[in-house]
Amino acid sequence: MAEGIAGIEDSPESWPVLDSDDLHRDSWVVSLRSDRITRPDADHEEPFRRLVLEHPGAAVVLAIDDQDRVLCLRQYRHPAQHRLIELPAGVCDHPGEEPLAVAQRELQEEAALQAAEWTPLLSTFSSPGYSSERIHYFLARGLRHADRGDFELRHEEADLETCWVPFADLVGAVLDGRVADGPVVQAVLAHEVARRRTS
């Protein structure tokens, strides 16, 4: 067994897929498939089934202004049956587009802002037991107003509210459970830890 820091690292691996069936696939962001897989070198074990929610990934923006306030969105999410405090975010659904470009686009489209400074915070798998989604988190500083261009807020986004929240207040809301959106929690806590390590 590996010990110490050198052994604490995820590694790419792919187990044999005997067959795969599409359970749902259309033009929307996600698809659902059923894979029948086996463990490598496990010749005498029965294959087993795993459902995979295919997702192209996403980018999330923690945008902080010169007064140490975070640009937050308040948005209805039907599956959760909640109006959640969120951060600007979007899906990596343009082939070849880098996550940073997605983050920059979403900040402009959802919040009508641009940023002069971009810092990577994290890159995490949302729920790897059933989903391929990987979310890339960025800190955006040096904010200024930007035109949305021809982007139109539709569906849930048409009901979007924006607000500025002091970073310390947002940390408190995350820690006491008033704000429970996973990407917000990860971005806020990652930035809080990074601040403490450099102070």
Structural domain boundaries of the chain?
A: 5-54, 58-198
pTM: 0.89
Of the residues 3, 157, 161, 192, only one is catalytic, namely 157
Asked whether 20 and 34 are in contact (CB, 8 A), the reply is yes
* Partners of 34 in beta bridges: 21, 51
The predicted-structure confidence for 80-136, as pLDDT tens digits, reads as follows 999 999 999 999 988 888 999 999 999 999 999 999 999 999 999 999 999 999 999
Q: Is 13 a catalytic residue?
A: no
What's the DSSP call for residue 46? P
CATH of domain 58-198: 3.90.79.10
